Structures are given as structure tokens and as C-alpha cells.
Amino acid sequence: MAIKPEVVQGVKDICDSYANEPSPLMMILSAVQKKYGYIPLEVQEIISEKTGIPVAEIYGVVTFYSFFSLKPKGKYVLGICLGTACYVKNSQQVVDKFSSLLGIQPGETTKDGLFTIEAIRCIGACALAPAMSINGKVYPKVTPDQVGKIIEEYKNKEAEA
């Protein structure tokens, strides 16, 4: 896969912006993940050239942390909290409902590239259990019944756009 020239430049700029920091790899990876949504091997090679850190080491770090992704994620990341407080209030059923309605397992993305289901760890919204977060927006007290409506909400948003 060829990386677009503007992306190559963007990644290089990110590397440059942390040039004065000691051990900047985590910061670079966070910034790239945030800006482009994933960190494929080709991008890791650019980071390696800029920082002098071997690609093997960068790959090791990327695959260690759950925030970094090798593949693109869906436009809407449906993060359902499976922290303890949410789990004891049946958030697993919410995950199952999303899985059955969208036909994908947690960690997978729908074919249209719209949705990714993620079972996430505690987001600290324990009073709102079971909670979920969609692209950063927190949905409180989600029940399996609401799952269909939530999916519709985002599908409609797409249809309008």
C-alpha cells in the first residue's frame, strides 16, 4: 500500500515536533494514531527513518498498547465499557446485542467501514453504568433495547450527510 505524500509529510512533521523530547516514541505514536486513525507498517517505517528507532522496536510498541491500531477502524467506534461496575450491570449483553445486530465481533469493523465494536476497559463513568462511548461521546445507562436505536441514529446521520 502506498502512503499518500501528504500523509508522509504529516507523519514527518509529527516526528519533528517532538524532536526535542527525550524518548518521544509514545508521543509520536499517539499523535499519529489520533490524526490518521491507525499506524500501518509503512508509517512505522517513516517514523523509524526519522527517529533512528528500529522498525521492530516500533512494531513491538504499537502492538503492545491497545490504543494503537495496525488497521483502520470504522468511522464510528462503538466502545462499550466492560469495566467491573458496568459488567455487574449487564454491559456484556449490550456488547452481544451490538454484535448480533451488526454481525461483527468486538474488535471487528463492518464491511461498509462505518462501525467498529470495541469492548473497552473502564472509562470512569461508573455512575452511569452501563456506559458506552462513541467517538468520545459518552452514552449513559445503555440497555440492550436501545442498541438498535443507537445504530439507527448513526446510520441516519450518514444518510443525511
157 forms part of the interface with other proteins (CB under 8 A): no
156 forms part of the interface with other proteins (CB under 8 A): no
Q: Which of 16, 41, 42, 67 binds other proteins (CB under 8 A)?
A: 67
Torsion of CA 52, 53, 58, 61, to 10 degrees: -140
Residue 108: Cβ within 10 Å count: 16
Q: Whole-number minimum distance, CB 42 to other proteins, in Å? A: 20
CA 18 to chain centre: 23
Query: Of 72 and 140, which has the nearer Cβ to other proteins?
Result: 140
- Per-residue x/- mask for other proteins, residues 87 to 126, rule CB under 8 A? xxx---x--x---x-------------------xxxxxxx
- Per-residue x/- mask for other proteins, residues 45 to 64, rule CB under 8 A? --------x---x--xx--x
Contact 122, 102 (CB under 8 A): no
Q: Whole-number minimum distance, CB 10 to other proteins, in Å? A: 19
84 forms part of the interface with other proteins (CB under 8 A): yes
Q: Is 151 in a helix, a strand, or coil?
A: helix
Compute the distance between CA of residue 154 and CA of residue 157 in angstroms, rounded to an integer. Answer: 5
